[in-house]
Amino acid sequence: MKEMNVESFNLDHTKVAAPYIRLAGTSEGQHGDVIYKYDIRFCQPNKEHMDMPALHSIEHLMAENIRNHHDRVVDLSPMGCQTGFYLSVLNDDDKSGIEDVMEKTLNDVLEATEVPACNEVQCGWAASHSLEGAKEIARQMLEGRDSWSTVFA
Ligand SMILES: [Zn+2]
């Protein structure tokens, strides 16, 4: 296959075994700071996906809570294929530490009583949410905790 600009377009999605956490790329600034971008894969590509309201709610919950466990989060965003998220952090190449941060964040999701910023002022589609769906996604991801470090089958 032709080498593409986008890192994940060069990943063979038929060879991965979700759930997993994978370092997808790095970007270094001129002063030596490095942004590490992690592929947090919740669902097996082309076999399963997250429904939009649940995906949207777990996005809000993780984006808000992960910053209580890590102080250099740049961004946490869902993939358009609805199978996972990208997490970008500054100067943190400790993948097992990132796994621990994700575990804590997903446990926060299980304990949540509401979706943060779930209103028309703070969100672009406030009607499309599911707290129960978000919790189900978190439960399934946590069930696979022992295999997060194994990317390929
Ligand atoms: Zn939103």
CA quadruple 127, 129, 132, 133: dihedral positive or negative?
positive
Query: First and final CA of the chain: distance in angstroms?
Result: 21
Distance CA 151, CA 153 (A): 7
Distance CA 39, CA 56 (A): 17
43 is in an annotated binding site: no
Q: Give me the tens of pLDDT residue by residue for the chain, a chain 153 residues long.
A: 799 999 999 999 999 999 999 999 999 999 999 999 999 999 999 999 999 999 999 999 999 999 999 999 999 999 999 999 999 999 999 999 999 999 999 999 999 999 999 999 999 999 999 999 999 999 999 999 999 999 998
60 is in an annotated binding site: yes
Q: 131-143 vs 95-111: helix axis angle to the nearest 10?
A: 140
123 is in an annotated binding site: yes
Alpha carbon of 117 to ligand 1 centroid (Å): 7
Domain residue spans of the chain: 40-147
Please give all residues whose CB falls under 5 A of ion ligand 1, grouped by chain where several chains appear. 123
**Confidence (pLDDT) at 74:** 98
Q: What homologous superfamily does CATH list for 40-147?
A: S-ribosylhomocysteinase (LuxS) (3.30.1360.80)
DSSP secondary structure letter of residue 17: -
**Nearest in space to 150 (alpha carbons), one of 100, 99, 102:** 99
**Confidence (pLDDT) at 1:** 78
Output the pTM of the full model.
0.96
The token duo for 41 is 């894969």
Alpha carbon of 137 to ligand 1 centroid (Å): 17
**Confidence (pLDDT) at 115:** 98
Alpha carbon of 118 to ligand 1 centroid (Å): 7
